[in-house]
Amino acid sequence: MSNTRREFLKQSGNLTAASALGLTAACQPSDQSQVSSAALKPQSAKPPLWPLLEGPNTPKMCYWIGRNAEPATLRNYKQIGVDYGAMGGPPIPWTENELQSIIDRYAAQDMKVMLMMIGGFPNTIYGREGRDQEIEQVQQSLQAAGAVGLPVVEYNFYAHRLMEGYHQVEGRGGAGYTGFDYSGVKDLLADPEIGEHRAEDLWANLTYFLEAVIPVAEAAGVRMAVHPNDPPIPVSHGSDQILGTFEDWKRLVDIVDSPANGMTFDCGVTRETGADPVEVCRYLGERDRINHVHFRNVLVEKPYEKYVEVFPDNGMVDMFAVMQELVNMGYTFGLYPEHERGLDYDLDQGINPYYPGGGGFAGITYNVAYARAMMQASLALRGK
């Protein structure tokens, strides 16, 4: 590059930066008589200063990266604008030392850990002997999480997750979509190790769990987020499924009245049930019960039973309206634009997606870029 071109780019960059900061006085006429009368009139509020990025009062872009992620992997996510990681936590009970080592690994790449998933309490879910010991281990884990500053702990409360209903669907340009169809799997027999469980028994077990752990989470400064039932079908392998309807979610947050007793708001699952994601988001947000967000889109043929997970821009969820709702309510925890679609580029790299029709890093980049655009537009309209 010639010196002349380099100087031109340097000067252009300086002018751009000065303009962004409002430092344009040097470009104004020195003779004030030349300033138009319009310029002397009171001006409306200045537009927000760009770039509009995550801050203390905005959602935080995060992705499921993993607690054992190598520096190079974290660097890849950092490059596409992901500053927060989510992951499955270690076996319970968690300790401060093992959590701190994970947090330090992220901090070395200028990233933070937003959320860990906790599990390992099947006796609690099924109401079996040994649940009190499991709950004590969960309590110890929450105390460790609070001690190291982990904001959110996510969990599931499935009697059984019906993964057999998922299949790959060819989508836009041959991309992989994830379909679900309940019709062929709804009569599958119970797993002998799990048995069959009725809804009210599971609700009683969940209530027992929450009444024991939410006060501990609250005291530790940690929020819990239960993921809604996904797929949101009524029965899986002979067991009733709770947390699969909007009415279930209302019931959940009333069990223990605390912001620590919250949910992962998943706008995709919400639409799968036939409910309005914006309405559900507003209901939970007004009660300060959204402790994590899954941001994805679907096409629904039959609520609860038959749908296809698609790109964020071509489903039935009004993603912009959902993002505006989150921004306007002042939601400040993780926003995970999950379930990347299966792109040829990723498949050519030999990825092994978790879901049929899932993808890899190119799909992740697409989802993150889309979600950030939605967020920036929402922040601009809010006047941030």
* Statement: residue 29 has pLDDT above 80: no
Q: Is 197 among the domain residues?
A: yes
Q: Is 40 helix (H, G, I), strand (E, B) or coil?
A: helix
Say what the pLDDT of residue 25 is.
Answer: 34
Q: Read off the pLDDT of residues 233-260 as tens digits, 9 standing for 90 and up.
A: 999 999 999 999 999 999 999 999 999 9
- Which amino acid, 303? P
Q: How many CB atoms lie within 10 A of CB 321?
A: 16
In a domain, 40, yes or no: no
Taking 70 as the threshold, does the pLDDT of residue 26 lie above it?
A: no
Separation between Cα atoms, residue 334 and residue 264, nearest integer Å? 10
In a domain, 352, yes or no: no
Report the SS3 class of residue 252: helix
Q: What is the dihedral of CA 356, 333, 244, 179, to 10 degrees?
A: -20
Percent of residues, the chain, with pLDDT higher than 70:
88
Q: Name 154's bridge partners.
A: 117, 225
pLDDT for res 103: 98
Name the pTM for this structure.
0.87
The pLDDT-based confidence of 44 (bands split at 50, 70, 90) is low
- CA dist 133 → 21, 120, 299, 332 (Å): 58, 11, 42, 33
Q: Which of 54-58, 208-212, 263-267, 334-338 has the lowest mean pLDDT?
A: 54-58
Instruction: Give the separation between CA 375 and CA 373, rounded to whole angstroms.
Output: 5
Q: At what angle do helices 319-329 and 277-286 cross, to 10 degrees?
A: 10
Would you state the structure tokens that stand for residue 259, as one six-digit string?
């912001």
**What is the reported pLDDT for 12?**
40
CATH number at residue 142: 3.20.20.150
Average pLDDT of the chain, as a whole number: 90
The domain of 121 spans 53-162+193-293+318-340+358-382
pLDDT digits 0-9 by tens, 333-380: 999 999 999 999 999 999 988 889 999 999 999 999 999 999 999 999
Give the total number of structural domains in the chain.
1
Residue 32 has pLDDT above 90, yes or no: no
Q: What would the two tokens of residue 364 be?
A: 């992740």
118: in domain: yes
Q: Is residue 14 part of a domain?
A: no
Domain presence at residue 242: yes
Establish if 4 belongs to a structural domain.
no
Q: Residue range 58-65: average pLDDT? A: 98
